[in-house]
Structure 1
Amino acid sequence: MKEKKRDIRALTKEQLRDFFIEKGEKAFRGNQVYEWLWKKGAHSFDDMTNLSKETRLFLDTYFDINHIKVDDMQRSQDGTIKNAVKLHDGLTVESVLIPTATRTTACVSSQVGCSLNCEFCATARLKRMRNLQPDEIYDQVVAIDQQSRMYHGFPLSNIVFMGMGEPLMNYNNVLKSIEKITGEDGLGMSPKRITLSTSGVPKMMKKLADDGPKFNLALSLHSAIDEKRTKIMPFNEQFPLADIKEALKYWYDKTGTRVTYEYVVWKGINDTIDDVHELIKFCKVIPCKVNIIEYNSIDDPRFEQASPKAIDLYKTQLERNHIIVNVRRSRGKDIDAACGQLANKQ
């Protein structure tokens, strides 16, 4: 019976070296293959041109490279690119390239669908089908880096884990992907240019703090009032704000790094002065900054962008209390590539 091929990118460098030794080859071949896989992003053994044809055929006998494929690419009027990314098993996720005058940011997915149930997010309607492997996350970054160079003339500068899925519900694979993205034997990107965004899973936030990450943390907050947050993010009932505050304090004590709060303001939901005051109190828990994000419609009449007056109220009051606040305008809305819109519509 023919032996089933293994996914070669599931092996460490040491395991690859051991494989070559076991087959009577030189150990350094493992280093060469590892570099092709993780530094150069090779999707085929034929690409590994410093290996003999015999070695490439030999590798193909035992292994597969389960790489992604950009199945569909849409370009927005503002330069944003949305990719429908086909995985090796036929499932699809989406990733986005967000350009500005000075940088390009990759918004990558970590799950097919999502483990959580935020009412305002299109991805939540898909439910979670599976977690992405480290190489599938890494491949999204490589593809967007290539697009950044091709369409904008410079390499990818930043990465946000704000695509489909809750990154902390795919903890090990997400951290392994960041190791490959930041490692010297990988893409060598600075971890300071990576932000992991969570909807708030206290136990995993503490675990992350214990693991001493060098990247940034963002919390998708949207209300600092438990009752309101539970209405729009029902899982808040299991992970209430008191537990999240405790996890944030733990994070700051361990890392000394401030957190960014992502916050959408909706008409009739969280646009009152009481909402603003509760957010200000929440911001006093640890050093932080607030990103007020424009709402992107998912055709749900319950959610409507708040008035400019309400946004200005938040901005003015936060600044008056010496809290850093940025108002973020969404990009890629014309191709459903904006925050909260990723749902594999095609």
Structure 2
Amino acid sequence: MSLPQIQEVFANMGEKPFRAKQVYEWLWLKQARDFESMSNLSKPLRASLEENFTFPAIKVDTTQHSSDGTIKSRFKLHDGHFVEGVLIPTSTRQTACVSSQVGCSLSCKFCATGFMDRKRNLDFDEIFDQVALINKQAIESSGKKLTNIVFMGMGEPLLNYKNVLHAIERITSPEGLAMSPKRITVSTAGVAKMIHQLGEDKVRFNLALSLHAANDQKRTQIMPINETNNLKVLVEELNYFYKATGNEISFEYILFKDFNDTVKDAEELIKIYRQVPVDLINIIEYNQIDGARFQKPSEEATEAFMEYLGKHKVNARLRRSRGKDIDAACGQLANKA
């Protein structure tokens, strides 16, 4: 509920107006998990709230710690569904990777979540709760708050557009976590009309395109969404997004052995790169998942690919996988305990 809605409820209950603000602060600033923890409310008021309202806060179901410091959490939702989120710490950053849907409908051939059915979208408060809980983990494990958030967990964020934007509004609000939108990146498999909508809405966060192949034939093989959202259309909408917002755009490109890891593939990637004001290409190590036919390229092939990009003045970075030993790396989230 919004603050005005809570104020109306408390007025109808005959409670003083400041009580509504107290509850609102418990919900968002203090991130309370239940009514009982709202300690500056009277016991009868807490009991009344418990009796008359639901508090569908998400809960940490299981937590796994990687040898590299990565922490993966499986979160239980109020209806019994699960999603996963990951804390990725480095010496300079504390990054939360969060989910936007229970499962996914896009069926990308290299992603564990893509082998799951989409059950439902997450509500905005469930997305916020993930971030708040991972922020708590960051503080407890390192004494540092989150510095970055990436919407690269389970689901396609742009197919849950309103809730994702509402969650980011709350995360960046002084009444929420007060995080700069420039520290937030939303990743999409390429929903062209919603990329356009991001531009229309003048959003302030960054955008990442999960590219993974730089020609339509290959991309359609591994990402069925490309059949209706081809590279030409995506290039047009990414340029519109940049023109409308000026926000950073990056490409995500997973290297697959004998599929998209040759010099010719690098040439095609450069052609796409030249058509969009891309800030960075993240070249990602492939992480093995059950049911997928792909393999990781050799170190020699990876180095040759990176060298070719560097020789042609492409701003590319090889992103080594974090959390592989607990299935927390890119493409591995599948609600495994």
The alignment's TM-score, normalised by the length of structure 2, stands at 0.96
Contact 2:211–2:251 under 8 Å retained in 1: yes
Q: Distance in 2 between matches of 1:197 and 1:134?
A: 17
SS of the residue corresponding to residue 284 of structure 1 reads: helix
Which residue of the partner structure matches residue 293 of structure 1? Answer: 284
Percent identity between matched residues is 55
Distance 1:114 1:301, change over 3 A: closer
Q: Deviation string for 1:22-52 (max 9, x for gaps)?
A: 3333333222211110111101112112222
Taking the TM superposition and a 5 Å limit, the aligned residue runs for 1:35-46 are: 35-46=25-36
Q: CA deviation at 1:300?
A: 4.2
SS of the residue corresponding to residue 64 of structure 2 reads: strand
Q: Distance in 2 between matches of 1:171 and 1:142?
A: 20
Taking the TM superposition and a 5 Å limit, the aligned residue runs for 1:1-346 are: 11-288=1-278, 289-300=280-291, 302-346=293-337
| 5+ residue gaps, structure 2 | none
- Give the letter for the 1:181 counterpart: I
Q: Distance in 1 between matches of 2:114 and 2:319?
A: 22
Q: CA deviation at 1:143?
A: 1.2
Q: Distance in 1 between matches of 2:23 and 2:201?
A: 29
Instruction: Report which stretch shifted further, 146-155 or 229-238.
Output: 146-155
SS of the residue corresponding to residue 165 of structure 2 reads: helix
CA RMSD of aligned residues (A): 1.3
- Give the letter for the 2:52 counterpart: Y
| 5+ residue gaps, structure 1 | 1-10
Q: Deviation string for 1:235-275 (max 9, x for gaps)?
A: 21111111111110110110112311000111111112221
Q: CA deviation at 1:295?
A: 0.6
SS of the residue corresponding to residue 51 of structure 2 reads: helix
- Give the letter for the 2:287 counterpart: N
Q: Distance in 2 between matches of 1:286 and 1:29?
A: 51
Q: Distance in 2 between matches of 1:342 and 1:67?
A: 21
Instruction: Report which stretch shifted further, 267-276 or 215-224.
Output: 267-276
Aligned residues: 336
Contact 2:103–2:118 under 8 Å retained in 1: yes
Q: CA deviation at 1:278?
A: 1.0
SS of the residue corresponding to residue 275 of structure 2 reads: coil
The alignment's TM-score, normalised by the length of structure 1, stands at 0.94
Instruction: Report which stretch shifted further, 278-287 or 304-313.
Output: 304-313
